[in-house]
């Protein structure tokens, strides 16, 4: 694809994870801002999510936060976003993040990040979209994820083509090139079925 207009990040909300991860999230926010690409994310101030938003805002970028009403307090809804969309529930949050984004980037995170990542990958598997997904394997954090997918392929729970639905890069500096290099879908996409 060409340079995306907006990029959605999936990443952790934990405040206790590695400071290096948070620094990289912040740096990625800056990279998007410099490239003039809008950041779409979960709308909180906590963890990697907050760090990426701060990095983008500090760089003069546009940031769209998408947060369910019930998480406004727990994830500290970021009222400094360029646009803060408050949704009624989690499903509306994910649907909005999907609709507002041209590509998805997975930074280190926990179960919520995995949920979002596999939802977007399984939607791709079902030809519901053809948006690029890039896993940013900072410090090798996502190696077990790539291993798990290869394990599922070996045990024939998923076709080898699934491996083509995402790319893995080691550093946030490599993400935009990976998005631009992502292949288009081979079948027609049906976003109306999401």
Query: Which residues form the interface with ligand AMP (CB under 6 A)?
Result: 12-14, 42, 44, 71, 75, 90, 93-94, 109-113, 115-116
Look at residue 39 and give its three-state secondary structure.
strand
Min separation Cβ 3 and ligand AMP, Å: 26
- CA pair distance 190, 194, nearest whole angstrom: 8
91: Cβ contacts below 8 Å, ≥ 6 apart: none
149 or 182: whose CB is closer to ligand AMP?
Answer: 149
Nearest to 82 by CA among 107, 56, 50, 103: 56
**Under 8 Å between Cβ of 17 and 114:** no
Min separation Cβ 183 and ligand AMP, Å: 27
Min separation Cβ 184 and ligand AMP, Å: 27
- CA pair distance 177, 194, nearest whole angstrom: 28
87 or 167: whose CB is closer to ligand AMP?
Answer: 87
29 or 44: whose CB is closer to ligand AMP?
Answer: 44
1 or 18: whose CB is closer to ligand AMP?
Answer: 18
Select the residue whose beta carbon is closest to ligand AMP and give its number: 112
């Amino acid at each position: 694809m060409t340079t995306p207009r907006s990029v959605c990040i999936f990443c952790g909300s934990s405040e206790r994870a590695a400071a290096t991860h948070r620094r990289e999230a912040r740096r990625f926010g800056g990279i998007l801002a410099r490239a003039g690409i809008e950041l779409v994310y979960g709308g909180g101030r906590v963890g990697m999510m907050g760090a990426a938003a701060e990095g983008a805002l500090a760089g003069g970028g546009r940031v769209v936060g998408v947060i369910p009403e019930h998480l406004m307090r727990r994830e500290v809804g970021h009222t400094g976003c360029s646009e803060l969309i408050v949704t009624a529930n989690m499903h509306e949050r994910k649907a909005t993040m999907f609709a507002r984004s041209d590509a998805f980037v997975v930074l280190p995170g926990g179960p919520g990040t995995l949920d979002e990542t596999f939802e977007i990958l399984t939607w791709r598997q079902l030809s519901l979209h053809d948006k690029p997904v890039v896993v940013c394997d900072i410090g090798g954090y996502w190696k077990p994820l790539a291993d798990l997918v290869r394990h599922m392929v070996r045990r024939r729970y998923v076709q080898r083509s699934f491996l083509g639905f995402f790319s893995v890069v080691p550093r946030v500096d490599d993400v935009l090139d990976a998005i631009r290099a992502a292949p288009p879908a081979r079948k027609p996409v049906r976003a109306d079925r999401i």
